[in-house]
Amino acid sequence: MPIRFLILMALSLFLPATVRAQEWVAVTTELLKSEKTGFGGLCGVVVHPPSGDVIINLSDRGLFRSRDQGRSWQRLGSAELKWRTETPGCLMIDPIGHKRLVAALVYGSPLIVSSDLGESFTAMSPKSSHVDWCTLDWSDPEHRFVLTLKHESGDLLLVSRDGGKTFDEIGKGYGPAWIFDNQTAVVAEAKSKTNTKPGLLRTIDAGKTFQRCGDDYARVLPRFKTGTLYWLVADGLIASTDQGQSWKHLSSVNDGLCGPVFGKDAQHQFILTQSGIRESKDGGITWQPTIALPAAMKGTGNLSWVEYDARHDILFVMKMGSELFQWRRDQ
């Protein structure tokens, strides 16, 4: 056996399972001091992939954007959006063209959609108020097919087939979802006393009927990149390249809370887990040692978010009520 191989094996025994992240920096301190936020404070973050612009939501104060990697912040639009986003998926940027933004303000307005990344908004039906997240047909300029989950209502799934003008109730017992086109979507089942082994469901008629397409249990919204849907499930990361007809188990990662978020392509991914941030450079098959979270964040939970600016190689992490923390790899 080559000596070099033996040396590498010996060294691997001493490598830590968790690596200490380089210094995290809070980039919202002055903004949070100047804005009198409502309950929850900072409550959402997304990064616009082409530009690296960072967009955040402050409870009761609306959306703010930074075009200089968090050094300064400017209000988006003229209206102060009441209430707040909460879980990842409440605030999303179009993963296909990167031109639109959707927001679910959990305790406030109906679902809002912006065609100019937050400068102006169009509101959907009042029935879409008080919802946890929103997924829509990003390939359709009129986004006719919409799915959303009513907050604190027994996992009640709502559907719109007219661009949010009206909503119908599909029923209770559902979880996160993703829409591929104006007829096709996948939806997770919620775990309950009557459904102890939830799985994944698929519709090809805009939510009128569903068929089981997988046995995994998912609690977070999936993420889409260049024709593939990636989904953090209870025992790892799965992916589908055929609109949810079949799924491939990519890797076993535990306690996934948010992600994956992507680098310049789908090979480069980050996920947020309860213990920290994991990075993959081979499409989610293998993962580097965990990146430790900022101590000032004081742990994680379902209201924790991770984002990545691939243009400037910057990670962002937060949970509702914390600062927005930034990590530059070159620090």
Digitized pLDDT (tens) for each residue of the chain, 331 residues in all:
455 434 434 434 344 455 454 589 999 999 999 999 999 999 999 999 999 999 999 999 999 999 999 999 999 987 667 889 999 999 999 999 999 999 999 987 899 999 999 999 999 999 999 999 999 999 999 999 999 999 999 999 999 999 999 999 999 999 999 999 999 999 999 999 999 999 999 999 999 999 999 999 999 999 999 999 999 999 999 999 999 999 999 999 989 999 999 999 999 999 999 999 999 999 999 999 999 999 999 999 999 999 999 999 999 999 999 999 999 886 4
pTM to 2 decimal places: 0.92
Q: What is the dihedral of CA 317, 322, 326, 327, to 10 degrees?
A: -70
CATH fold of 29-328 reads Methylamine Dehydrogenase; Chain H (2.130.10)
Query: Minimal CA–CA distance to 186: which of 143, 124, 127, 228?
Result: 228
